[in-house]
Amino acid sequence: MLYGSFAGQFVRQPAGLRDHPALVLNADFRPLSYFPLSLWPWQEAIKAAFLDRVQIVAEYDEVVHSPSIAMRLPSVVVLRDYVKPARYPAFTRFNLFLRDEFACQYCGSRGEMTFDHVIPRSRGGRTTWENVVAACGPCNLRKASLTLRQAGMSLSRPPRRPDAVELQNKGRKFPPNFLHDSWMDFLYWDAELES
């Protein structure tokens, strides 16, 4: 409760302090997550700093005031304790699209995506990393409940379960719209690291 009441003492200025998220780094100074990028609202970042769960690495110019303290909003914080990432990401809609880089695995188009069972469910195909791919509407319709061979279609790459590192690397290709200057030292959106 200490931090709750403390954070409550800060005067929230109307002009956009909400819009000053802090980039959250793991103890190894890498972002906890690339996609979605690990960001905390500034209030969370300040709470964590006062609880000594994070160290502030960089700050915004904007200042918040409590009755006794003025402090600049953290723009980058690093966790004191290393969070070990799961080796394999969860099989979710989002992660599957990310594995396939939001592109149809049949024709390569991007945009509205659906899922396609490579071996159709009606033929015993299961809903797994190895049997589900991102597909555009037209390709999904064309493939229907046919096998690849019957439909005369092929996949750009065989679907398989990605590990967490692989998905993180894919996430780097999809930077969010807003990136603060102070985050750049910790992010690598450059082409060099794209595989």
Pairing type for strands 70-79 and 114-117 reads unpaired
Element (H, E) at 132: strand 132-135
Chain residues 99-118 in contact with Zn ion, contact rule CB under 5 A:
104, 106-107, 109
Site residues (CB under 5 A) for Zn ion, limited to 144-163: none
The tokens for 4 are 């709750």
Whether the Cβ atoms of residue 60 and residue 13 lie closer than 8 Å to each other = no
Residue 136 contacts Zn ion per CB under 5 A: yes
Closest contact distance (angstroms) between CB of 158 and Zn ion is 17
Interface residues for Zn ion in 32-91 (CB under 5 A)?
A: none
Is the CB of 78 or the CB of 136 nearer to Zn ion? Answer: 136
Least distance in Å: CB of 160 to Zn ion?
20
Residue 111 makes CB contacts below 8 A (sequence gap 6+) with 136
> SS3 of 26, please?
coil
Q: Total binding residues for Zn ion by CB under 5 A?
A: 6
Binding site for Zn ion (CB under 5 A): 104, 106-107, 109, 136, 139
